[in-house]
């Protein structure tokens, strides 16, 4: 009988009751848009979101963030719709979470915890797994009450006067803090390995680009279309967590390396911004950023503001940037002229492409080729046989215009190369 009940519970569809707070001066459509995104996040964990509830508050309260009377009303709604979990678009304090759990008899989580769970389910490489575990532990440390809610946790008194739950919590805190330090030490080693790999890749004078933008705007699809790659593409939030680099040959036989990065989202947990610094530093180290936006989305302005906000936090907002509107094939053709007229006023110089159909991708390739070519200078050199490492370097740039090998093995070259490598040819220039 117990086994059958367990099986029934295992296949039971979980239902989430979503709650958003709206303070004075906030626009209701913005709150609704955030709740729609929260519903998408919840679906990524295979949990069914119920009709969301927006709670208006004048001043945040200590106990429930809203007034006690409104909290009682919400608890009644949760009971009536038989929700299994309560999900808040705003992150509550640990004490507020405990109060809501006592009131509703349901597990209570915030948007931040939902995002952490999605990241945990998608991480594949060792670095991503370590980063997610670190972020989850740092988030859960002040919220350990959940794991031991059935035990006594009375504070006060000496060590001999502690309840069983309190002793267990103290033990858990020490174990978690120790594990956090272990993870940080492991990440230091992994990052050193990544730095070594990056240095090896950067020995060749190839410009570096990075695709950045909101989650699910089609960055990986765009990388695949431009580079003829096979990066995972899925119509879901955070389908790609691990950085991916692909080489692309552009018009004029110019090469570039494009890096796909993790997508951004509103209210990205601070722990994840910190924990994924090494993943996102591809954007910091890139020579040019392709800021990808979904032209068919209703919240383009939010996508832009969120992406720019994260780039500022990373110190990458001053880099050369090309705004790329993807998914133009999804627009109603009758609406395109009006839509493009508005966007061109807001984003002059932006490109409008479709990774799905390939529309205008040639124009994007030309823009990248022009940038890569401008970063190189035309040189003429006579290189002796003893310095064939320089010949290899010149060929690696992909811009050899003339090459003449003399009988004694000396090589006369007319070539273009990035400015940062010119000093290596200095003594052989003509």
Tens digits of residue pLDDT in 311-336: 887 777 778 889 999 998 888 877 77
Distance CA 196, CA 189 (A): 11
- DSSP bridge partners of 403: 413
pLDDT tens for each residue of 163-221: 555 577 788 888 889 999 999 999 888 878 877 766 655 555 567 888 888 888 888 88
213-264 pLDDT, tens per residue?
888 888 888 888 888 766 555 555 555 555 677 888 888 777 788 888 777 7
Question: Is the separation of the CB atoms in 229 and 240 below 8 Å?
Answer: no
- Domains of the chain with CATH codes: 12-118 (3.40.50.11060), 123-190 (no CATH), 205-373 (3.40.50.300), 376-428 (3.30.70)
Which string of b and e fits 51-76 if b means at least 16 CB within 10 Å? ebbbbebeeeeeebbbeeebbeebbe
Question: What distance, in Å, lies between the first and last C-alpha atoms of the chain?
Answer: 89
Q: CA 252, CA 246: separation in Å to the nearest integer?
A: 18
Is residue 286 a contact partner of residue 209, using CB atoms and an 8 Å limit? Answer: yes
Burial of 97 (0-12, 13-18, 19+ CB in 10 A): buried
Percent of the chain with pLDDT over 90: 21
Give the residue from 22, 21, 17, 55 showing the smallest Cα distance to 39.
17
Give me the torsion for CA of 92, 171, 182, 215, rounded to 10°.
Answer: -20
**C-beta of residue 247 within 8 angstroms of C-beta of residue 257:** yes
Q: How much helix, strand and coil, in percent to the nearest 5, is found in the chain? A: 50, 20, 30
- Give the SS3 label for residue 382: strand
Whether residue 153 contacts residue 166, with contact meaning beta carbons closer than 8 Å, is answered with yes
Residue-wise pLDDT for 358-376, tens only, equals: 999 999 999 998 887 776 6
Nearest of 28, 36, 144 to residue 95 by alpha carbon: 144
Neighbours of 77 (CB within 10 A): 15
Q: Write the pLDDT tens digit of every residue in 74-124.
A: 999 999 999 999 999 988 888 899 999 999 999 999 888 888 888 777 776
- The pTM of this model reads 0.68
With b for 16 or more beta-carbon neighbours within 10 A and e for fewer, the 394-416 pattern comes to: bebbbbbeeeeeeeeeebebbbb
- pLDDT attached to residue 1: 39
Quote the mean pLDDT of the chain. Answer: 79
Kindly state the average pLDDT of the residues 383-400: 80
């Amino acid at each position: 009988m117990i086994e059958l009940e367990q099986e029934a519970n295992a296949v039971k569809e979980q239902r989430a009751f979503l709650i958003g707070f709206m303070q004075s001066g906030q626009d209701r459509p913005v709150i609704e848009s955030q709740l729609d995104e929260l519903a998408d996040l919840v679906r990524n964990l295979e949990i069914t979101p119920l009709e969301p509830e927006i709670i208006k508050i004048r001043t945040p309260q200590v106990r429930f963030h809203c007034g006690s009377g409104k909290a009682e009303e919400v608890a009644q709604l949760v009971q009536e719709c038989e929700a299994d979990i309560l999900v808040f678009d705003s992150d509550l304090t640990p004490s507020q979470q405990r109060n809501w759990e006592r009131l509703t008899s349901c597990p209570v989580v915030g948007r931040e915890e939902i995002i952490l769970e999605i990241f945990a389910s998608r991480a594949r490489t060792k670095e991503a797994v370590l980063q997610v575990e670190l972020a989850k532990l740092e988030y859960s440390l002040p919220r350990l009450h959940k794991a031991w809610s059935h035990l006594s946790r009375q504070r006060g008194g000496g060590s001999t006067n502690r309840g069983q739950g309190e002793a267990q919590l103290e033990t858990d805190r020490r174990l978690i803090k120790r594990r956090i330090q272990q993870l940080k030490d492991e990440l230091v080693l992994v990052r050193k390995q990544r730095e070594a790999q990056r240095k090896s890749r950067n020995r060749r004078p190839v410009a570096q680009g990075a695709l950045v933008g909101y989650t699910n705007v089609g960055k990986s699809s765009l990388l695949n279309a431009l580079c003829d790659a096979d990066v995972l593409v899925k119509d879901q939030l955070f389908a790609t967590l691990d950085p991916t680099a692909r080489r692309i040959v552009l018009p004029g036989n110019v090469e570039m390396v494009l890096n796909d990065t993790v997508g951004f989202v509103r209210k990205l947990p601070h722990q994840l911004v910190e924990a994924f610094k090494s993943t996102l530093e591809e954007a910091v180290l890139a020579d040019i950023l392709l800021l990808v936006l979904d032209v068919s989305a209703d919240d383009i302005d939010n996508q832009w503001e969120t992406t720019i906000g994260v780039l500022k936090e990373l110190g990458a907002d001053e880099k050369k940037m090309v705004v790329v509107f993807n998914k133009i094939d999804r627009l109603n053709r009758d609406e395109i002229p009006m839509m493009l007229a508005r966007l061109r006023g807001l984003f002059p110089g932006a490109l409008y492409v479709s990774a799905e159909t390939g529309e205008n991708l040639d124009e994007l390739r030309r823009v990248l080729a022009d940038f890569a070519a401008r970063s190189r200078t035309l040189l003429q050199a006579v290189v002796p046989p003893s310095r064939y490492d320089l010949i290899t370097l010149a060929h690696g740039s992909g811009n050899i215009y003339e090459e003449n090998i003399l009988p004694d093995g000396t090589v006369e070259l007319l070539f273009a190369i990035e400015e940062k490598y010119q000093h290596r040819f200095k003594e052989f220039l003509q």
